[in-house]
Homo-oligomer: A and B are copies of this chain.
Amino acid sequence: MEGLLRRCRGLHTLATCSPQLRGYTPHRLHHCTPGRGRRLTLSTMFQPQNLREDQVLPLDGRSADLTCKSQRLMLQVGLIYPASPGCYHLLPYAVRALEKLVRTIDQEMQAIGGQKVSMPSLSPAELWRATNRWDSMDRELFKLRDRHDKEYCLGPTHEEVVTALVASQKTLSYKQLPFLLYQVTRKFRDEPRPRFGLLRGREFYMKDMYTFDATPEAAQETYGLVCAAYSRLFERLGLRCVQVQADVGSIGGSLSHEFQLPVDVGEDRFAVCASCGFSANVETLDVSQTSCPTCQGSLTETRGVEVGHTFYLGTKYSSVFDAKFTNTHGSVSLVEMGCYGLGVTRILAAAIESFSTEDCIRWPGLLAPYQVCLIPPKKGSIEEAAAELTEHLYDHITEAVPRLRGEVLLDDRTHLTIGKRRKDADKFGYPFVIIAGKRALEDPAHFEVWCQNTGEVVFLSREGVLELLSQVQVV
């Protein structure tokens, strides 16, 4: 056995991951105090506010482009930076939040059997011509030609592509159905009027899932399963989305729902009946409709951002690409399809739009780029003696709550007052801000803890801090 283990190790069968490689935290080696643990420090983060240190610059010359609160806040604190109309750079804080959102989506999609794939962005024109969408979507598609003059579009969605892929699997049997394929990739849409930052861009991240079933009944069951997964996702994020009946638009099919997040800048309008729970995008209602079509109760109209969209497609695409399977009778039938989208970068911006105040970003707890910000005393202040205590607290937190490794940030800009850094932390929206102020010099030391999402401020000993933070979940 010993020999076996040794040989396996030697051959890289047992992956070589030495212990010191675990629990990595982003840092620059020479930024670390030798002999101490590695700590994440704010001064080394690349984001505009920090690079300009103690000034939050006005976005000079850009104010005309600022179309909503989330866009303004995300630009101000350096989550995003404009690249071209409707295209943004995602900076380090935003990428951390995005990756947490993708992991949460992965969990929910895989819990219902979703299998992750990755389809190219370059999408051959002939597939889009087969469904007539090359012409019907026309200018919404970014179109290009390669060096051999072959035409492509940059995929805004992948119904054609995935159906052709499944059709290529010639000997599909009913026993292998259903399957659910999904991806999280960049999508491209040449919006005539990109606006609201990440809410309506031209290049953005989307999760798109495509499902394949043997019968309309099974496909409807799958449809319900995916909708329930979407609801669970939004619940975990704390987003109170409303599932409304929707128009099928350019995707097609016979049944469709949108998940709408109510926010003031939302470009969609949906109506809800308080009596029976009926809800619908107003596009699907007759303009003269003022009462609920099912119970005649009164309808309340709300503005929303569409963060998810589901379609029951039937055989609309499988009939074009001849995607078939062998049914229980031994003959071949067309597969029944559904498609399901989540606007990934849009969910991020919509959550910030929904949770934030005018001046301060607030995050769904699960998505906050960092969970904890520690603020040590100002250099040269009376409290400076507590500086070391803050570093010890940092180490205690990451030792006692290993899942918070990489989630705790030390605001080492100690040339600034505590008040100034506390204000920055408020703007960034770290869920927990922990300050070593006057009471840190007491015995035992007490830290000032701001629970930013509840607005509460409490003084806690080291043990109290650890108890509180041991409750924090990360994804």
Q: Which residue numbers of A lie inside 8 Å of B, CB to CB?
A: 1, 4-5, 7-9, 11-17, 21, 24-29, 31, 43-46, 48, 50-53, 81, 83-84, 87-92, 94-96, 98-99, 107, 110-122, 124, 139, 142-144, 146-147, 150, 152, 154, 161, 165, 168-173, 175-176, 178-181, 185-186, 188, 190, 192, 202-203, 225, 235-238, 364-366, 431, 451-454, 456, 458, 460, 464, 467-468, 471-475
Task: Provide the residues of chain B in CB contact with A180, threshold 8 Å.
Answer: 28
Q: What 6 pairs between A and B have smallest CB-CB spacing?
A: A12-B238, A28-B113, A13-B453, A15-B366, A15-B365, A144-B144
Bound-state Cα–Cα, A467 to B14, Å: 13
Query: Which of the listed residues A11, A24, A29, A173 has the most CB atoms from chain B within 10 Å of its own CB?
Result: A11
* Residues A456 and B238 in contact, CB atoms below 8 Å apart: no
* Residues B117 and A15 in contact, CB atoms below 8 Å apart: no
* Residues B8 and A467 in contact, CB atoms below 8 Å apart: no
* Residues B143 and A147 in contact, CB atoms below 8 Å apart: no
* Residues B43 and A11 in contact, CB atoms below 8 Å apart: no
The answer, among B31, B122, B366, for a CB contact under 8 Å with A188, is B122
The answer, among B46, B88, B111, B203, for a CB contact under 8 Å with A24, is B111
With contacts A115-B46, A451-B8 taken as known, whether A1 is within 8 angstroms of B110 at the C-beta atoms is no
Bound-state Cα–Cα, A4 to B472, Å: 13
* Residues B12 and A467 in contact, CB atoms below 8 Å apart: no
Q: Return 25 A-B CB contacts under 8 Å, by A number.
A: A8-B453, A11-B238, A11-B453, A15-B475, A17-B473, A21-B236, A24-B111, A27-B110, A27-B111, A44-B113, A46-B117, A51-B171, A51-B173, A51-B176, A53-B173, A83-B120, A83-B161, A84-B152, A88-B120, A89-B118, A99-B116, A121-B186, A121-B203, A122-B188, A146-B202
* Residues A4 and B451 in contact, CB atoms below 8 Å apart: yes
Instruction: Write the nearest CB–CB distance from A295 to chain B, whole angstroms.
Output: 32
Instruction: Write the nearest CB–CB distance from A11 to chain B, whole angstroms.
Output: 5
Bound-state Cα–Cα, A313 to B188, Å: 32
With contacts A1-B464, A46-B181, A124-B84 taken as known, whether A31 is within 8 angstroms of B236 at the C-beta atoms is no
Bound-state Cα–Cα, A210 to B112, Å: 39
Which B residue sits closest to A82, measured CB to CB?
B168
Which B residue sits closest to A7, measured CB to CB?
B454
* Residues B236 and A122 in contact, CB atoms below 8 Å apart: no
The answer, among B4, B17, B95, for a CB contact under 8 Å with A366, is B17
Number of copies: 2
* Residues A16 and B146 in contact, CB atoms below 8 Å apart: no
Instruction: Write the nearest CB–CB distance from A157 to chain B, whole angstroms.
Output: 15
Bound-state Cα–Cα, A445 to B118, Å: 41
Bound-state Cα–Cα, A172 to B121, Å: 36
Query: Which of the listed residues A7, A112, A144 has the most CB atoms from chain B within 10 Å of its own CB?
Result: A144
* Residues A175 and B120 in contact, CB atoms below 8 Å apart: no
Instruction: Write the nearest CB–CB distance from A410 to chain B, whole angstroms.
Output: 15
The answer, among B87, B112, B178, B236, for a CB contact under 8 Å with A17, is B236
Task: Provide the residues of chain B in CB contact with A81, threshold 8 Å.
Answer: 165, 168
The answer, among B88, B181, B236, for a CB contact under 8 Å with A15, is B236
Instruction: Write the nearest CB–CB distance from A98 to chain B, whole angstroms.
Output: 7
Bound-state Cα–Cα, A13 to B238, Å: 9
Bound-state Cα–Cα, A453 to B452, Å: 51
* Residues A143 and B144 in contact, CB atoms below 8 Å apart: yes
The answer, among B90, B114, B190, for a CB contact under 8 Å with A117, is B90
* Residues A87 and B365 in contact, CB atoms below 8 Å apart: no
* Residues B12 and A365 in contact, CB atoms below 8 Å apart: yes
* Residues B14 and A365 in contact, CB atoms below 8 Å apart: yes
Query: Which of the listed residues A122, A142, A178, A472 has the most CB atoms from chain B within 10 Å of its own CB?
Result: A122
The answer, among B9, B113, B171, for a CB contact under 8 Å with A27, is B113
The answer, among B5, B13, B51, B118, for a CB contact under 8 Å with A365, is B13
* Residues A89 and B117 in contact, CB atoms below 8 Å apart: yes
